Amino acid sequence: LMILANLFLGIFPTGMLTLIILYYFILNAIWLSVTIMYILDKELIFSGLLVLGIGIIALLFLVFRIDIIVSQIISLAIISLLGALVALAFFVVQTRRNKKEGTEPVLPRKTIILNSVSQYFLYGLSYFAYLFADRVVAWSTNDVYMPYIIWFRGEYELGLDFALLTLIIPMGFVEYIIRAMMESIQGAQKDYYMYEVGKMYKRYRRMYVNRLVLMAVISVVSGILIYILLMMVKNNYFPFVDIAISQTTYFVFMVALVGYSFTAMGLMNVEILFCVSQPKMATRCILPALLATVLIGFVLSRWISYSYAVIGLACASILFSVLGT
């Protein structure tokens, strides 16, 4: 579709479009193998693969002086191939074990599988569109130099990237919090009679509220730490880091800091919904947020400045968190 659109509209030069498509396919291959290893609790293996990929890029770019984009594509291609082989090896070993033990499962029909995963697909599509929508809105604002219909804004992206670090600590806690809650629920079902379901409900509602407050506190602390880090970079505490923090970058960072903090709380809610098999409810939380970030960001970026697209992200994040709660 992208190639056909480019033929008629001439959005990007052929060389640039080729790079875009290469990155698209190779990154998807990596994410697929990483997801498989994550499900199989092989986090150390895929983390090692990603570190190896960074090492290959550094070697090609710093030692052999190969262009950074070429270095990245070579490294990504190697890691995607290694990831696919490792994931395949895990499947082969598991299949042989199942056959030996006589526990090989019979898969349902493909139509049933497609129906069951469609809601997760819709959520995933909406979630990543929500994460990147403000960038597309900002980068398509025609108020400065604009050789293509979308043009990268470094100052905007830098502010978002710093703010995105806020999610690292909360997302680690989300994984632990949700796992602990779900394991607790499985055990608690044996502790209550059927007529005591109200007691169990109140217990877990209270537990959920406590966890939500904890997540809010963790998000605030994480935001403060990242803010301190940005100020240290801005005041040249790290002589080996040469990054100019402009007013635009600072503004985008501060607004996105609020947005990503609420996003962390929204993601905790969504993961709970997934754990109790309610992907439709998760989608109902993310779709209004996606609509909000596009509409608010578009209006503000066109009326005031492209950097105001980040306000759409912040408003959408608050909506996402509130609806999920």
pLDDT for residue 284:
95
pLDDT at residue 240 tops 80: no
Mean pLDDT of 54-78: 95
- 308 in Cβ contact with 297 (< 8 Å): yes
pLDDT for residue 29:
94
User: Of the spans 4-18, 90-104, 294-308, which averages the highest pLDDT?
Assistant: 294-308
pLDDT for residue 244:
77
Find the distance separating the first CA and the last CA of the chain, reported in whole Å.
38
pLDDT, mean over the chain: 90
- Scanning the chain, the segments in alpha helix (DSSP H) are 2-9, 14-39, 43-58, 68-101, 110-139, 154-164, 168-188, 197-234, 247-275, 279-303, 309-324
pLDDT for residue 173:
87
The pLDDT-based confidence of 218 (bands split at 50, 70, 90) is: very high
Of the two residues 188 and 18, the one the predictor is more confident about is 18
- 117 in Cβ contact with 95 (< 8 Å): no
pLDDT for residue 252:
95
Range name among 44-53, 101-110, 201-210, 266-275 with the lowest pLDDT average: 101-110
Give the span between the Cα atoms of 294 and 313, in whole angstroms.
8
pLDDT digit string (tens) for 125-162?
Answer: 999 999 999 999 999 998 777 888 888 998 999 999 99
Give the span between the Cα atoms of 300 and 137, in whole angstroms.
10
pLDDT digit string (tens) for 5-57?
Answer: 888 888 888 899 999 999 999 999 999 999 888 888 888 998 999 999 999 99
Range name among 79-88, 110-119, 165-174, 233-242 with the lowest pLDDT average: 233-242
- 249 in Cβ contact with 230 (< 8 Å): no
Residue whose token pair is 């994460």: 131
Global pTM reads 0.83
Mean pLDDT of 263-282: 93
pLDDT for residue 321:
96
pLDDT for residue 194:
87
Of the two residues 273 and 38, the one the predictor is more confident about is 273
Would you put residue 103 in left (φ > 0), alpha (ψ -120 to 50) or beta?
Answer: alpha
pLDDT at residue 172 tops 90: no
| Helix, coil or strand: residue 54 | helix
Mean pLDDT of 280-304: 95
pLDDT for residue 50:
92
